Amino acid sequence: MTPPHSHSSPVIEVAAGLVFRQGKLLITQRRAEDHLGGLWEFPGGKREPGESFQECVRRELHEELGILVDPKELLTSILHEYREKTVHLKFFRCVLCEHEPRTLGCQAFEWIEPHQLQEFPFPEADAQLLELLKETPSLWDSPR
């Protein structure tokens, strides 16, 4: 029997980007061998020591997709406990500045419309954000 999870495990800080374009949102599929492999997510990753969350979003989206983004407002911040670790996620609305996405550090990517959100399996940690995206159509307008 596994003991209940406590906050003794380190909190992993993650920054992710919500990249909107023409009423569509960019999502990526995790590689099969990664934690939660095969699930869809908002592109991003772990924050490195000394890096701001905005710098992390810029670096991660460049590494994963080869795109340059400008993180604008922080949309939401979520603390989620998985059995094996706790993640602190910060989601930023981003403007796509340069390049088209490519599958560099992810299995696949899609530009989806609001009604397609439920067609893709996401990690539990994204549940709150998915609700916000469904309930707030104005978020799908590209940030300036």
Contacts of 106 (CB under 8 A, 6+ apart): 28, 29, 30, 31, 43, 64, 65
Phi-psi region of 22 (alpha: psi -120 to 50; beta: other; left: phi over 0): left
The answer to whether residue 3 scores a pLDDT higher than 50 is no
CATH number at residue 74: 3.90.79.10
The answer to whether residue 16 scores a pLDDT higher than 90 is yes
The answer to whether residue 9 scores a pLDDT higher than 90 is no
Return the higher-pLDDT residue of 8 and 51: 51
What whole-number distance in Å separates Cα of residue 21 and Cα of residue 64?
18
pLDDT at 7: 52
The answer to whether residue 2 scores a pLDDT higher than 50 is no
The pTM (predicted TM-score) of the whole model is: 0.89
> Is 143 within the bounds of a domain?
no
Q: Which DSSP letter does residue 93 get?
A: E
Output b/e per residue, 24-54; b: 16+ Cβ within 10 A: bbbbbbbeeeeeeeebbbbbbbebeeebebb
For residue 55, count other CB atoms closer than 10 A to its CB.
14
Residues spanned by the domain of 65: 11-137
pLDDT in tens, 18-59: 999 999 999 999 999 988 899 999 999 999 999 999 999 999
> Is 5 within the bounds of a domain?
no
> Is 35 within the bounds of a domain?
yes
> Is 2 within the bounds of a domain?
no
> Is 3 within the bounds of a domain?
no
User: For the chain, what is the domain count?
Assistant: 1
pLDDT in tens, 60-96: 999 999 999 999 999 999 999 988 889 999 999 999 9
